[in-house]
């Protein structure tokens, strides 16, 4: 299927939130949707980089009637993530399109501020906390437009195929560094394979979470469409963490080759733009699916279809978030009693189901 940004409909009045919207695929996504008059929020961890991106987005499409704003978000910290989602919810009355796009890859082994392996913490756990905290807003948005729809797009990767052989691909028993030998240098070249598997594990979690969230929303909020995508091999700064393993010379060679072999961020963003805006998603009732470039149905591993693992991941993630913020986030939990009562039962989902 061919898809170009020219096929994106006018998005005047639509609220769009993009994690990692300050660079690479997220920035290309923001450019394309702002050009179609959407009101964009880019959520990122560096205020300076964020402000530069906001300026660049506005300058590129001077004719847009949309808006661009910033939200501070550090996905590697559950607390920061929940606070960012709460701030967004306080300041916006709706959220039409949410891109869980930010990510890190190939980083030397490190624990997050909450004590979880950092790639998993950033790519999966942070997005789990962010999206579940935003769920009441997404649900309200969906309930307010029975004829329209709400989209959540989670950026995964073909790398979901390369993960651990333990527990169907997600090694919960190693998330806090339980299996690390203390004397191993995390930047040793021999650790590169593990870095890739840790990335693959987090990207497998992206698909499992997509499918479980989609399943939970299907009966209560059928007009919320949650899908995952792989953008292709794209020349961005994503693998810059890998230079710690291979040094500056090999990094330069790799970047040079990527420049030839990989596609541009603009092209790489097409599949997520399609999943966010195409009428085909609704017409064909695509939910919990995995798409590859450009706008094609992709095949996942059997692990990514494992429903038991989906539930286990949800439960583990819920526990991890609760362990940090001391409460269960999302659903009706955050709403005051008045707000809670305003949402009819059929518009709430039991997150613990």
Ligand X SMILES: NC(=O)c1ccc[n+]([C@@H]2O[C@H](COP(=O)([O-])OP(=O)(O)OC[C@H]3O[C@@H](n4cnc5c(N)ncnc54)[C@H](OP(=O)(O)O)[C@@H]3O)[C@@H](O)[C@H]2O)c1
> Interface with ligand X by CB under 6 A: which residues?
19-20, 22-26, 44-46, 49, 73-76, 101-105, 122, 155, 157, 230-231, 233-234, 236-238
H-only helix segments in 219-268 = 243-261, 265-268
Q: Is the CB of residue 270 less than 8 Å from the CB of residue 294?
A: yes
Q: Which residues pair with 153 in a beta bridge?
A: 99, 227
CB of 46 vs ligand X, minimal distance in Å: 4
Rounded Cα gap, residues 146 and 152, in angstroms: 17
Cβ–Cβ under 8 Å, residues 175 and 119: no
Residue number with the smallest Cβ distance to ligand X: 24
- Asked if residues 91 and 43 have their Cβ atoms less than 8 Å apart, the reply is no
Give the residue with the Cβ less far from ligand X, 25 or 97.
25
Residue 154 phi, psi (nearest 5): -110, 120
The catalytic position among 109, 199, 225, 290 is 199
- As measured in angstroms, the least distance from the Cβ of 199 to ligand X is 7
Catalytic residue among 203, 278, 290, 317: 203
Of 216, 212, 239, 235, the C-alpha closest to 331 is 216
In whole angstroms, the minimum distance from the beta carbon of 228 to ligand X comes to 10
Q: State how far the Cα of 60 lies from the Cα of 186, in Å rounded to an integer.
A: 41
Q: Is 116 one of the catalytic residues?
A: no
Question: What SS3 class is residue 150?
Answer: strand
Shortest approach of ligand X to residue 275 CB, angstroms? 13
Q: Is 199 a catalytic residue?
A: yes
Verify whether residue 173 is a known catalytic residue: no
Q: Find the shortest distance in angstroms from Cβ 235 to ligand X.
A: 7
* Residue closer to ligand X, measured from CB, 155 or 220: 155
> By CB neighbour count within 10 A (0-12 exposed, 13-18 middle, 19+ buried), where does 190 fall?
exposed
Please give the Cα distance from 161 to 138 (Å, whole number).
30
| Beta carbons of 94 and 174 less than 8 angstroms apart | no
Which residue's CB is nearer to ligand X, number 143 or number 270?
270
Q: Which two tokens stand for residue 236?
A: 């961005």
Helix axes 307-325, 78-91, angle to 10 degrees: 90
User: Quick one: 8 or 44, whose CB is closer to ligand X?
Assistant: 44
Least distance in angstroms from the C-beta of 302 to ligand X: 20
- Cβ neighbors of 9 (< 8 A, separation 6 or more) are 36, 277
Residue 105: CB minimum distance to ligand X, A: 6
Which one, 66 or 126, has the nearer CB to ligand X?
Answer: 126
Instruction: Specify the 3-state DSSP secondary structure of 297.
Output: strand
Nearer to ligand X, 23 or 132 (CB): 23
Nearer to ligand X, 73 or 97 (CB): 73
Cα of first residue to Cα of last residue in the chain, in angstroms, is 37
Please identify every residue annotated as catalytic: 156, 199, 203
């Amino acid at each position: 299927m061919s898809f170009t940004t020219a096929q994106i409909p006018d998005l005047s009045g639509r609220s769009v939130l993009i994690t990692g919207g300050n660079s690479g695929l997220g920035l290309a996504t923001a450019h394309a949707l702002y050009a179609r008059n959407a009101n964009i929020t880019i959520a990122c961890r560096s205020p300076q980089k964020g402000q530069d991106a906001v300026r660049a987005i506005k300058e590129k499409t001077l004719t847009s009637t949309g808006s661009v704003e910033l939200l501070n978000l550090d996905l590697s910290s559950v607390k920061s993530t929940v606070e960012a989602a709460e701030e967004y919810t306080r300041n916006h009355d709706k959220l039409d399109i949410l891109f869980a796009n930010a990510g890190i890859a190939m980083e030397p082994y490190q624990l997050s501020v909450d004590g979880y392996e950092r790639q998993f913490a950033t790519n999966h756990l942070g997005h789990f906390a962010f999206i579940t905290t935003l769920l009441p807003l997404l649900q309200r948005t969906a309930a307010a437009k029975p004829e329209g729809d709400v989209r959540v797009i989670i950026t995964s990767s073909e790398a979901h195929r390369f993960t651990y052989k333990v527990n169907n691909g997600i090694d919960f028993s190693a998330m806090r560094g339980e299996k690390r030998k203390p004397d191993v240098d995390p930047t040793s070249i021999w650790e590169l394979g593990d870095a890739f598997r840790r990335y693959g594990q987090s990207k497998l979690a992206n698909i499992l979470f997509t499918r479980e969230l989609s399943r939970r929303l299907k009966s209560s909020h059928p007009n919320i469409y949650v899908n995952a995508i792989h953008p292709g091999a794209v020349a961005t700064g994503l693998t810059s963490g890998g230079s710690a393993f291979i040094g500056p010379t090999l990094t330069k060679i790799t970047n040079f080759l990527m420049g030839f072999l990989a596609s541009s961020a603009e092209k790489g963003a097409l599949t997520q733009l399609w999943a966010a805006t195409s009428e085909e998603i609704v017409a064909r009732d695509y939910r919990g699916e995995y798409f590859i470039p450009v706008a094609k149905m992709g095949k996942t591993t059997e692990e990514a279809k494992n429903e038991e693992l989906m539930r286990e991941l949800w439960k583990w993630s819920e526990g991890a978030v609760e362990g940090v913020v001391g409460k269960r986030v999302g659903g009706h939990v955050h709403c005051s009693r008045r707000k809670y009562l305003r949402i009819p039962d059929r518009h709430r989902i039991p997150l613990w189901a």
